[in-house]
Structure 1
Amino acid sequence: MNTFILHLYNLMCNLLPETRCWGLKRTMLRCAGANIGNNVRIVSSASYFLSGPLEVGDDTWIGHYVSIVGGDALVRIGHSCDIAPKVMLVTGSHEINYQECGRVAGYGYSLPIIIEDESWVCAGSVILGGTTIGRHSIVAAGSVVKGEFPERSLIGGNPAKVLRQITALNVKKAPADCEDK
């Protein structure tokens, strides 16, 4: 990612309407080096502070005040995903310094975040580096997520865990035109 262009993107988006100018926002992120799919809708208050690759699949929604922060690790959001307001994706962390003196936050590192296709991350959740969220999963509001989670999982809590598997039996009604691909 070109961090200078990304910084300009963050500044310019403050001047744009929250829920308009979708194509312009996609183009600006592509100019910064991000791989942004077709029909991605990014709200203007979403911000990006990272140097690693950013990939967002087709037909994905990135909501109000979403922050993607980190170092050089990959952030991949699949197609047809919904990232709700105030979600944070943070790839960076630190080793713990056990020494008697100096900062406790030791050497910094980054780990990838992968949110697979057709998943929904609900409001106020924090997704930490080293996380893979399986296809067609839901992250409950306010969760703190780190680790590997299988597809069709309802994930929630702090720390997050699989609350249950999502099946046709525990979903009220699926649209008639929705087929398992």
Structure 2
Amino acid sequence: MRNIMKILKKKTLKILAKNAPFYKLRIVLFRMCGYSIGRNVYIAEDLIISEALDDVNNLIIGDRVAIGPKVTLVTFSNPNFSKIREYVKTEKGKIVIKDDVWIGAGAVILPNITIGEGAVIGANAVVTKDVEPYTIVAGVPARVIRKLKVENENSN
């Protein structure tokens, strides 16, 4: 019974967070769900986190990350009761979004993905593999568009 109440609480908080009118409120509510969210993060409206509700530590978001509207983060996916269950495997895994990442509107991030520091994910991209730091990816599936040239902060 305790576990059911915990799952219901998390599901309710996710619904409230997805529809919260202010981004700071969305962040507070998502943190209450147990997600690790860094400082100075922006989360736009309609973020979907598709997961097994009893999962913990399956989503880590670094500092200064910007997530556009209608982004979907998938940490758990399976065909449920479909006849194809025996032919496809259930996908389950952590998503790690490092510092200074920008994720465009409508992007989909699949399980077991790490998005490197300073990466940019184009709008409506479907990320199926890790993204290297300071790289722009876009498309379905997401492909490297180019590398970003970043000046060293310590240089004069």
> What is the TM-score when the length of structure 2 is the normalising length?
0.77
Aligned to 1:7: 11
Residue-by-residue CA offset, 1:126-150 (whole Å, 9 max, x unaligned)? 1100211110010011100011121
Q: Unpaired segments of 5 or more residues in structure 1? A: 35-53, 96-101, 169-173
Task: Indicate whether 1:68 and 2:52 are aligned.
Answer: no
CA distance in 2, matches of 1:91, 1:8: 18
Aligned to 2:76: 92
Task: Indicate whether 1:179 and 2:156 are aligned.
Answer: no
Residue-by-residue CA offset, 1:95-152 (whole Å, 9 max, x unaligned)? 8xxxxxx711345341111111000000011110021111001001110001112100
Aligned to 2:84: 104
Question: Per the alignment, do residues 11 and 158 of structure 1 end up closer, same or farther by CA in structure 2, a change over 3 Å counting?
Answer: closer
Task: Indicate whether 1:120 and 2:120 are aligned.
Answer: no
Task: Indicate whether 1:163 and 2:137 are aligned.
Answer: no
Residue-by-residue CA offset, 1:6-43 (whole Å, 9 max, x unaligned)? 22324545885x127x35861x44444x1xxxxxxxxx
Whether the 8 Å CA contact 2:31–2:37 is kept in 1: the answer is: no
Aligned residues: 143
Return the match for 2:67 from 83, 91, 97.
83
Aligned to 1:132: 114
Counterpart code for 2:119: S
Return the match for 2:37 from 40, 46, 56.
56
Cα distance, 1:167 vs structure 2: 0.8
Identify the structure with bigger relative contact order (alpha carbons < 8 Å, sequence gap 6+): 2
Aligned to 1:19: 22
Whether the 8 Å CA contact 2:137–2:146 is kept in 1: the answer is: yes
Aligned to 2:136: 154
> Which has more helix, going by share of residues?
2
Identity of aligned residues (%): 25
Root mean square deviation, CA, Å: 2.9
The list of structure 1 runs, each at least 4 consecutive aligned residues, that deviate by more than 6 angstroms after superposition, is: none
> What is the TM-score when the length of structure 1 is the normalising length?
0.67
Question: Per the alignment, do residues 64 and 161 of structure 1 end up closer, same or farther by CA in structure 2, a change over 3 Å counting?
Answer: same
- Determine which structure has more spread, i.e. the larger CA radius of gyration: 1
